[in-house]
Homo-oligomer: A and B are copies of this chain.
Amino acid sequence: MNRKSILMCPGPSEVHPEVILAMAKPLVSHVDPSFFALLDRLQDQLKTIFQTKNTCMLLPGTGTSGMEASLINFLDPGDKVLVGIIGHFGERIRIIAERIGCEVKVVSAPEGNALDPNDVENAIKGFSPKLFACVHAETSTGVLQPLKDIMDICKKYEVLTLVDTVASLGGVNVPVDELGIDIVYSGSQKCLGCPPGVAPISFSPRAESVLESLKPRNYYLDLRLIKKYWLERVYHHTPPVNLFYACNKGFDLIIEEGLINRFERHRKIGLALQKGLEVMGFKFVAQRDVQNPVVTAIYLPPEIEDVKLRKILLEEFGIEIALGIAQLKGKIARFGTMAESARPQNVLYLLSALENILKRFGIFKESGVDVASSIL
């Protein structure tokens, strides 16, 4: 099958051709003056995108490398960590913190809900953690965690904050300084619209003083050494040069579009998809008030087996979607409307493909294309 499939899964997302082509720029070495200039530009771009004055860098790894770096560089064995878990990726934070040897307490929410700030406050009061970590956009459920109240509570109790923005940065507002997030990371391949393999990270002066005080127990993701490379040009590793070219171009496109315009585009596209799905009779995993515009998870009717749906969409329509993970495995389908995937034609095509499939299974009720179209 030689057809180019359309990525409507929650990452990787469609990448602009100019970003792909940027990778083909002539390779220079990691100590070439022109590459050092690129590192400076990337830092400026990241500060714009993270909306922060804090230190920003790109890690030579995927989103999960950002997660591990954000924990292992700021935590010692025995440190108390409060983890907010509303799905698979919060669970992953817990696993990593436990592997470090931290004392971990969990605050969670029922399936499809965001964390309740009161629960977070109560957990902090009784536990006095050094760090609170949560996921902004939980890709496994489509829930977008409201951050303001929780971050305010952490500030009140002087708890260090860590937020995973892998599935939100570049598509949903993440005003790092305004929210007072200490440590934040993302992945290149979702709303940032770049190829996978790079993890943007940013940390506050407060986090930095913790970093400097810790005995290093890792090396590849040692933020002290990586920062020395980015700021003082002291060799630590050979970065994925071509991926950095791609990020530079991808970030340019984000800044040219404008953050506000870009968030509005993602909001509208997500809304159109969700209204369409609703009219068609699908139920959502996420509660309406915390529904992420860029990740939509729907429960599947008993007539449609998840792997069958995925196969039909991929093989017959050339659309790539994702299914449920962990406890949601077998029950749901997940769609991503991120970066270049968040375009009207993709949403309408996905909805009409789903309609076609519902008809085939004899469970078609009403078309969602019209309502989606009216929003787009």
Q: CB within 8 Å of B: which residues of A?
A: 1, 4-5, 7, 9, 11-12, 14-15, 20-21, 23-24, 26-34, 60-65, 67-68, 72, 92, 95-96, 99-101, 187, 189, 195-197, 216-221, 235-243, 246, 314, 320, 322, 325
A322 in contact with B31 (CB, 8 Å): yes
A216 proximity list for chain B (CB < 8 A)? 99
Chain B, Cβ-Cβ closest to A24: B20
CA distance A243 to B61 in the complex (A): 12
**Bound Cα distance from A235 to B322, whole angstroms:** 12
B62 and A196 contact, CB distance less than 8 A: no
Chain B nearest Cβ from A199, distance in angstroms: 10
Assess whether B220 is in contact with A68, with CB atoms less than 8 Å apart: yes
Given contacts A29-B322, A197-B197, 15 further A-B pairs with CB under 8 A are A1-B34, A7-B27, A9-B29, A12-B29, A20-B23, A20-B24, A27-B195, A61-B220, A65-B220, A67-B219, A67-B220, A187-B238, A195-B240, A195-B241, A196-B241
CA distance A14 to B24 in the complex (A): 12
Q: Is A325 a contact of B235 with CB atoms below 8 Å? A: yes
Cβ of A61: which chain B residues have Cβ within 8 Å of it?
A: 60-61, 65, 220
Bound-state CA distance A1–B37 (Å) is: 13
Instruction: List the 10 closest A-B pairs by CB distance, nearest first.
Output: A197-B240, A68-B220, A4-B26, A195-B242, A196-B238, A64-B237, A62-B237, A96-B219, A23-B23, A65-B220
Identify which of A21, A196, A220, A243 gathers the most chain B CB atoms within 10 Å of its CB: A220
In the complex, which residue of chain B has the Cβ closest to the Cβ of A64? B237
CB distance from A152 to the nearest CB of B (A): 30
Name A238's contact: one of B12, B24, B34, B320 (CB within 8 Å): B12
Closest to A222 in B: B99
Q: Are A220 and B221 in contact (CB under 8 A)?
A: yes
- Residues of chain B within 8 A (CB-CB) of A14 are 27
Q: Are A314 and B32 touching (Cβ within 8 A)? A: yes
A95 x B219 contact (CB < 8 A): yes
Among B12, B99, B218, B237, point to the contact of A27 (Cβ < 8 A).
B12
